[in-house]
Structure 1
Amino acid sequence: MTDSAPRRTVLAAALAAVAGTAVASTAPAAAADDRARRPAGHDRDRRPTADDRARRPVPGPALVDNRFWTSWTDWWTGTHAGARPVLGRRPGLAIGTPVGVTDYADPHTGTVSTWEYATWTSPVHTSSVPATEVIASWNAQTPPGTWIQIELRGTYTDATATPWYVLGRWASGDGDIRRTSVDDQSDGRSSVWTDTFAVDDPASGLRLASHQLRLTLYRTPGTRLTPTVWRLGAMASDIPDRFTVPASTPGLARELAVPRYSQNTHVGQYPEYDNGGEAWCSPTSSQMIVEYWGRGPRAEDLAWVNPDFADPQVCHAARFTYDHQYEGCGNWPFNAAYAATYPGMNAVVTRLSSLTDLETLIRAGIPAITSQSFRKEELTGAGYGTSGHLMTVIGFTETGDVIANDPASPSNEAVRRVYARSEWENIWLRTKRYDANGKVRSGTGGVCYVFWPVWPTAAQRRALRSLGLV
């Protein structure tokens, strides 16, 4: 990525180019059975004192706008062309009467196949944050013989419009089409970088004032098959350029019992899914959280994995998050969509503003996955540097430091790490950084995956609502 590229590490994040695969852990050894033993400090909740609250900075203007369509009422809004809302404990959108037939030439297989289709176009959403970037999320079920496409169109602050941009062609399986992003989309003012819409020159002042999403549902002609989409939406943001971000005041001591998996134990596995190891930080992190919520692949789902490989569910997550255009497993919405293929799960990609936001989630029992990049010396105890890496935040120590399940570890037992709050918060929230050669590179500006049950507890719902996710 060149210096003029958008404030984004989507390419680096998927590669998770950890400098060296043999990482020496400085963290305490993990429990022998991660799911049976609770780490020390689990569920200890230090409430912020009046002094803590007084020291917290006054919130500035909002930098992030989340808008998701999920309800029966939501699905009746917008424009329907063959798509119909479906009732149930989890209302969704499905194919009613297809409005046409089209051929799709899969660029990754060379196969041309014919599909019936229906569409739903959201109402125009005027963002509370005129945006430099937009990232979509969707939660769906696509039985064999079906798939979906997600597109975005917006209006700039100068009242001109973007074209329709493809943000993903997706299926939960890989037997019909190859899951893919679409390259080389631009109108000269904005572009799509794998999974992210971005204004090309934020310094110009141009922003995206509003946007709408178009969902196309495909099925094998002559069948009654249908994809079902339960959630569709996007996070719009305008994060200012910043090399440093001040640390927030600690307000919580709690640790969640999240399973621990190393990406590095999979080095060299499945070259067709980017070869394991350093490239698998995102699906490894996603799998940890999926299992924290008591979900995971069945034994028959894992039958394709080499029986000599440990933790086959990590291989499974890599295969079913893999973006065949990007040639990696780090497509952010594809990871969220993978998590939501498990029963009763919601998943989104968003941005958070501070570790205080993460404390809000942890307090409610919700771990999160964060994206960051850093030089080796910028994160004490990591033992590596990376141009983009995903790890799971599972709690905070008594002094407010971050407890993370870091998949860039030599073994499952070494995954639990404790990182200094000020260092960790800065590398996660900044949008600009210097690489090892002194060149300015991008940072993710607080990108985060959040997975939670469709029917959360009251405390979890309050936490999610406070962050604009429900």
Structure 2
Amino acid sequence: MTSSTPRRTLLAAALAAAAGTAAAAAPATASDGSTAVEPDTAPAGPDGRGHDPEPGIVDNRFWSSYTDWRCGAAAGTKAVAGQRPGLVLAAPAGRVELTDPHTGRTAPWEYATWTSPVHTPTVPATEVIASWNAHTPPGTWLQVELSGAYSDGTATPWYVLGRWASGDDDIRRTSVDDQTDGKSTVWTDTFAIDDTASGLRLLSYRLRLTLYRAPGSGLTPQVWRIGAMASDVPDRFTVPASAPGLAHELIVPRYSQNTHVGQYPEYDNGGEAWCSPTSSQMIVEYWGRRPSTEELAWVDPAFADPQVCHAARFTYDHQYQGCGNWPFNAAYAATYPDMNAVVTRLRSLTELESLVRAGIPAITSQSFRKDELPGAGYGTSGHLMTVIGFTPTGDIIANDPASPTNPAVRRVYPRREWENIWLRTKRYDANGKVRGGTGGVCYIFWPVKSAPSQHRALQALGLV
């Protein structure tokens, strides 16, 4: 298999180098949704099976209730009550002309803002990844920013974590490069401390939403959820083995990214790099959602599984030039009716098992050499797959989009090797160089109306 340059490895390499020196400030991107051949917080405590998830390494905080929206600082926005409370643009706080760097078009926009209360994570953080769930009608879009306080008493600037729209007619969905203050850098979708060995950490942060619309239109984005995962996962090449739980398997649609090779190369060179949107589409359809016939009308009717092409188009980050922007995939899933979606980290395979037992599959991000994961048949410097179950011996059942056909997507991977690959933060590539790992990053999607057991599983992770 081949793919575009695995850009999250740039972040990984920088963080690995930061063990002794600060990372250089340079244009960089972070998300890697491609498959490439290699040249407030979750509670701590024992899980009852002899494995104690690490306390204090992951903190989740999401604003989604009517009270949450009313607690923020609003300038032209207002909270809307109802079955699914949200935030809307009520009266413009100002007007600005902006030029889209990807189209060259300059247009006027009205805007309003909402700024979250200051959140102090239980873990002083080395990384923060935001997520948002929203709908932006044509003629509207939104921007998400982060600002925080360092442990040395100084503050970050306001960093842009994404400029996003449900569609792609008004602006081009994009991350923003070249954001650094010499202490931290935004690598596409991830805020990261440059020199983690220095002991510098992010102690608190605020998120700011700016909602935009065409002047005089009266339209508004509607945001239902915004928040972030903050973490300080220790450097590690290996993680302790966990004890297997109960066997369970979910029936999730199977889609191969490789059946789309060569299709719509304007979206990251076509299907060979579409592991992230392909995985996202599998989970969207697991929850009974899918694009309408009208929404798929743009796709060549000769192409099978047009919804995968649709997912690639509407997760595409025009700056990163790929479909693997983690928050953009979550935001895409949440454009479907009554869906929630977040990017987070899990502290253990046991936590992932608890989700699957509750009926919630998860999309995991990992990188590995070909020889490190028996049964895969490939190596990757960044790949997404969907975990749908566990065998009686605890091995992982995954819908792996890096498969030649849809029927071949279901794979079983050995527990110990897969667990270590997913949870580690450092690894060796085929040339013996130290590279980074994602440290348990995953996407989790679930419906607004979920079963009590699902709500409990999500609550235990600090996601609801």
- Same fold, TM-score > 0.5, yes or no: yes
Q: Is the contact made by 1:264 and 1:276 (CA closer than 8 Å) also made in structure 2?
A: no
Q: Does 1:5 align with 2:5?
A: no
Task: Please name the residue that 1:428 is paired with.
Answer: 422
Match of 1:16 among 27, 35, 44: 35
CA separation of 1:175/1:357 partners in 2, compared to 1, >3 Å: closer, same or farther?
A: same
Q: Superposed, which structure 2 residues align to 1:293-442 within 5 Å? A: 293-442=287-436
Displacement, 1:109? 0.2
Q: Unpaired runs of 5+ in structure 1?
A: 21-51
Q: Does 1:96 align with 2:105?
A: no
Displacement, 1:7? 5.9
Distance in 2 (CA, whole Å) between partners of 1:82 and 1:7 is 43
Distance in 2 (CA, whole Å) between partners of 1:3 and 1:327 is 18
For the aligned residues, what is the CA RMSD? Answer: 1.6
Displacement, 1:56? 1.3
Q: Which moved more, 1:404-413 or 1:61-70?
A: 61-70
Q: Is the contact made by 1:92 and 1:228 (CA closer than 8 Å) also made in structure 2?
A: yes
Number of equivalences: 439
1:361-418, Cα deviation, whole Å (9 max, x unpaired): 0111000000000000000000000000000000000000000000000000100000
Displacement, 1:252? 1.7
Match of 2:148 among 125, 147, 154: 154
Q: Is the contact made by 1:7 and 1:444 (CA closer than 8 Å) also made in structure 2?
A: no
Displacement, 1:18? 4.0
Q: Which moved more, 1:326-335 or 1:82-91?
A: 82-91
Partner SS for 2:294:
helix
Task: Please name the residue that 2:107 is paired with.
Answer: 113
Q: Superposed, which structure 2 residues align to 1:209-224 within 5 Å? A: 209-224=203-218
Q: Is the contact made by 2:130 and 2:343 (CA closer than 8 Å) also made in structure 1?
A: yes
Displacement, 1:159? 1.4
Displacement, 1:6? 2.4
Q: Does 1:83 align with 2:102?
A: no
Q: Is the contact made by 1:262 and 1:410 (CA closer than 8 Å) also made in structure 2?
A: yes
CA separation of 1:240/1:345 partners in 2, compared to 1, >3 Å: closer, same or farther?
A: same
Q: Does 1:165 align with 2:183?
A: no
Distance in 2 (CA, whole Å) between partners of 1:469 and 1:12 is 22
Q: Does 1:247 align with 2:241?
A: yes
CA separation of 1:104/1:164 partners in 2, compared to 1, >3 Å: closer, same or farther?
A: same
Displacement, 1:60? 3.5
Q: Unpaired runs of 5+ in structure 2?
A: 1-9, 18-27, 40-45
Distance in 2 (CA, whole Å) between partners of 1:53 and 1:316 is 40
CA separation of 1:407/1:188 partners in 2, compared to 1, >3 Å: closer, same or farther?
A: same
| TM-score, normalised with respect to structure 2 | 0.92
Q: Which amino acid aligns with 2:406?
A: N
Partner SS for 1:317:
helix
1:79-108, Cα deviation, whole Å (9 max, x unpaired): 110000012210000001101000111000
Q: Is the contact made by 1:3 and 1:440 (CA closer than 8 Å) also made in structure 2?
A: no
Task: Please name the residue that 2:129 is paired with.
Answer: 135
Q: Is the contact made by 2:11 and 2:187 (CA closer than 8 Å) also made in structure 1?
A: no
Distance in 1 (CA, whole Å) between partners of 2:243 and 2:364 is 19
Match of 1:183 among 173, 177, 181: 177
Percent identity over the alignment? 75
CA separation of 1:2/1:274 partners in 2, compared to 1, >3 Å: closer, same or farther?
A: closer
Partner SS for 1:299:
coil
Q: Which amino acid aligns with 2:448?
A: V
CA separation of 1:160/1:346 partners in 2, compared to 1, >3 Å: closer, same or farther?
A: same
Task: Please name the residue that 2:3 is paired with.
Answer: none
Distance in 1 (CA, whole Å) between partners of 2:34 and 2:426 is 19
Q: Is the contact made by 1:69 and 1:231 (CA closer than 8 Å) also made in structure 2?
A: yes
Distance in 2 (CA, whole Å) between partners of 1:359 and 1:140 is 29
Q: Which amino acid aligns with 2:166?
A: S
1:37-88, Cα deviation, whole Å (9 max, x unpaired): xxxxxxxxxxxxxxx9665133443210000000000000121100000122
Distance in 2 (CA, whole Å) between partners of 1:417 and 1:90 is 37
Q: Which amino acid aligns with 1:61?
A: P
Q: Does 1:63 align with 2:48?
A: no
CA separation of 1:119/1:161 partners in 2, compared to 1, >3 Å: closer, same or farther?
A: same
Task: Please name the residue that 2:199 is paired with.
Answer: 205
Displacement, 1:17? 1.6
Q: Is the contact made by 1:131 and 1:236 (CA closer than 8 Å) also made in structure 2?
A: yes
Displacement, 1:112? 0.4
Partner SS for 1:301:
coil
Distance in 1 (CA, whole Å) between partners of 2:245 and 2:333 is 29
Q: Is the contact made by 1:263 and 1:408 (CA closer than 8 Å) also made in structure 2?
A: yes
1:243-292, Cα deviation, whole Å (9 max, x unpaired): 01122100120100000000001111111111223310000000000000
1:113-135, Cα deviation, whole Å (9 max, x unpaired): 10000000000001100000000
Task: Please name the residue that 1:469 is paired with.
Answer: 463
Displacement, 1:3? 7.1
1:182-219, Cα deviation, whole Å (9 max, x unpaired): 00000000000000000000000000000000000000
Task: Please name the residue that 1:28 is paired with.
Answer: none
Q: Which amino acid aligns with 2:200?
A: L
Partner SS for 1:349:
strand
Distance in 2 (CA, whole Å) between partners of 1:98 and 1:397 is 54
Task: Please name the residue that 1:44 is paired with.
Answer: none
Task: Please name the residue that 1:194 is paired with.
Answer: 188
Distance in 2 (CA, whole Å) between partners of 1:233 and 1:2 is 22
Distance in 2 (CA, whole Å) between partners of 1:84 and 1:6 is 39
Q: Which amino acid aligns with 1:5?
A: A
| TM-score, normalised with respect to structure 1 | 0.91
1:275-312, Cα deviation, whole Å (9 max, x unpaired): 22331000000000000000010000000001111100
Q: Is the contact made by 1:151 and 1:214 (CA closer than 8 Å) also made in structure 2?
A: yes
Q: Is the contact made by 1:68 and 1:234 (CA closer than 8 Å) also made in structure 2?
A: yes
